Amino acid sequence: MHAQHIKFQEYGPHNSINQVAHVLGISSSKLKNLLETCSLRIESQLRIKESIKVSSDSFQFQNIAGLLRLSSQIEIEVCPKFLNPISSDWKSDFFQIASITSFSKIFPEMELMGGHQTDILFANLLARIFISQFRKLAARPIRTYQKLNFKSFEVIGELDWESIYFPDQEGFKQDIIQYTGENEYNRIIYNAVLFLLDVVTEQNLKRELLLIKYHLSPQRKKTKNQIKTVPSRHKHWNELYKLSFKLNSTIGLTFFGEEHNLMPGFIIKSDKAWEELLKKAFHFAFPGNIGYSAYDWGTRQIDSNHKSTIKVHPDISLINEADKVEIIIDAKYKGRSFESLSINRNDIYEVFSFLKATSSNIGVLLYPGNEYTSNKVGETVIFEEYEIEDINIFGAEVSITGISSINGFYKFSQGLKFLIETLLTKSESVIQRF
């Protein structure tokens, strides 16, 4: 029996528990319990509270997007608020964003039905996450005590006494106990590397995987297709080991070449991914001119003997050749996908403090364009403008739709560059010019 498949949108209209339960053929209490359990699991993995906001009669996905399994018979897709869930390309854009950013989580035990369209993108994404996790763990490798059988005339191990009287041409049979990386755990990870080498398409990923293969070599014994508990002293490897096992078994065996391909569950933390995507795009558009420093805003007097400095931390600062901050960019994400944007007053106060601290007079609150306002990747729209003394604060949104297309990230970064250069050279109301 195939799992039921249902789509939702992040920050979309609240979904009726009764209606969704009826579509799925389960009770409302059962659906509510599944959603709450899934939300707690996401919270423990990504530290996001109320990623699924569940009330007595409705629910909404907040600050997460991706592919999840609620139960053995229910799979869900949560489309990011800035992509159109009806579009056939949204998964490609989603996986492209996930591959550029790092705020994501794989759930190896959730086996979902994939599709040929996104197989290659997801394979490259899996490889990036695999490589990133391995780099963090490589300094503390999995080593275990293993009994090694060998032959040598030099006696360095425990002798087979029969071979003393009847030695082999290669020497005496001996056993030795070694503390080595050649073990059943590393063999699982090694075989996962071999699988990924076969399916990834990006050459830089292949090079990284070959380095990991060399690092784990040799692994001469055959591996049994049976998962084992990682020793407690190596528990930090547990997540990568489980992912490797899945790649070697069900997912790896059917990832390509079948009518229905299996893939692990996968989600991103949307607001952090959006902020990181902007930082990388601005670095590409203005190389050498982007900063993330904290700035002194004022002081706090606790008592006559204690005074502390108040610092502010803008998301992105554009710095000119004179080392002066020209413009402040603040990444904003929260908000419902089906509503028009407006700047929250608290956000205005926040950016105003950034501008005062940096002696700059242009600030931009940058939002992702949603399905109702987006046209093509990199297209920007300024929807609101505030003037406070000599300071200008703008609310703008930029389209992400199509970022997985050829030169998509370049177009995205160039759209941001055009927006910033326009604001720096403005001579009239910017809203009129956009």
pLDDT, one tens digit per residue, over 352-404 is 999 999 999 999 999 998 765 556 899 998 989 999 888 999 999 999 988 98
Which residues does 206 contact at the CB level (< 8 Å), separation at least 6?
197, 200
Q: What is the mean pLDDT of the chain?
A: 83
Report yes or no: 94 and 228 within 8 Å, Cβ to Cβ.
no
Report the share of the chain in percent with pLDDT over 90.
32
Report yes or no: 210 and 266 within 8 Å, Cβ to Cβ.
no
Mapped onto helix, strand or coil, the DSSP state of residue 317 is: strand
Question: What distance in Å separates the CA atoms of residue 405 and residue 411, rounded to the nearest whole number?
Answer: 10
The pLDDT value recorded for residue 405 is 87
Question: What distance in Å separates the CA atoms of residue 78 and residue 268, rounded to the nearest whole number?
Answer: 10
pLDDT band at 210 (very low <50, low <70, confident <90, very high): very high
Find the mean pLDDT for residues 258-270.
66
Strands in 52-54's sheet, in edge-to-edge order, are: 15-16, 58-61, 52-54
pLDDT band at 258 (very low <50, low <70, confident <90, very high): very low
Looking at per-residue confidence, does 76 or 427 come out higher?
76
Mapped onto helix, strand or coil, the DSSP state of residue 122 is: helix
Mapped onto helix, strand or coil, the DSSP state of residue 176 is: strand
Measured CA to CA in angstroms, residue 12 lies from 8, 121, 260, 371 at distances of 8, 26, 29, 11
Q: Residue 97: name the closest of 400, 411, 418, 413 by CA.
A: 400
Place of tokens 């720096």: 424
Place of tokens 């080392």: 323
The packing angle between helices 408-424 and 270-285, to 10°, is 70
Question: What distance in Å separates the CA atoms of residue 375 and residue 378, rounded to the nearest whole number?
Answer: 9
Question: What distance in Å separates the CA atoms of residue 3 and residue 300, rounded to the nearest whole number?
Answer: 58
Q: Residue 34: name the closest of 12, 4, 10 by CA.
A: 4
Find the mean pLDDT for residues 217-246.
83
Q: Looking at the predicted structure, is the pLDDT value of residue 174 above 80? A: yes
Which residues does 161 contact at the CB level (< 8 Å), separation at least 6?
none
Report yes or no: 69 and 111 within 8 Å, Cβ to Cβ.
yes
Strand partners, 113: 262
Mapped onto helix, strand or coil, the DSSP state of residue 266 is: strand
Which residues does 12 contact at the CB level (< 8 Å), separation at least 6?
60, 61, 81, 336, 337, 338
Find the mean pLDDT for residues 134-140.
90
The pLDDT value recorded for residue 255 is 46
Question: What distance in Å separates the CA atoms of residue 134 and residue 152, rounded to the nearest whole number?
Answer: 36
Q: Looking at the predicted structure, is the pLDDT value of residue 289 above 60? A: yes
Cβ-based neighbour number of residue 145 at 10 Å: 9
Looking at per-residue confidence, does 88 or 27 come out higher?
27
Q: Looking at the predicted structure, is the pLDDT value of residue 209 above 90? A: yes
Question: What distance in Å separates the CA atoms of residue 91 and residue 89, rounded to the nearest whole number?
Answer: 6
The pLDDT value recorded for residue 352 is 92
For 313-346, the pLDDT digits (tens) are 999 999 988 888 899 999 998 754 555 667 888 9
The pLDDT value recorded for residue 374 is 58
Which of 57-61, 239-243, 339-343 shows the lowest per-residue confidence on average (mean pLDDT)?
339-343
Question: What distance in Å separates the CA atoms of residue 407 and residue 401, rounded to the nearest whole number?
Answer: 13
Cβ-based neighbour number of residue 189 at 10 Å: 25
Cβ-based neighbour number of residue 13 at 10 Å: 13
The pLDDT value recorded for residue 121 is 66
Report yes or no: 325 and 357 within 8 Å, Cβ to Cβ.
no
153, burial (CB in 10 Å: exposed 0-12, middle 13-18, buried 19+): exposed
For 104-131, the pLDDT digits (tens) are 777 665 655 555 445 566 778 788 888 8
The pLDDT value recorded for residue 132 is 84
Strand partners, 319: 325
**218 upstream amide cis, omega within 30 of 0:** yes
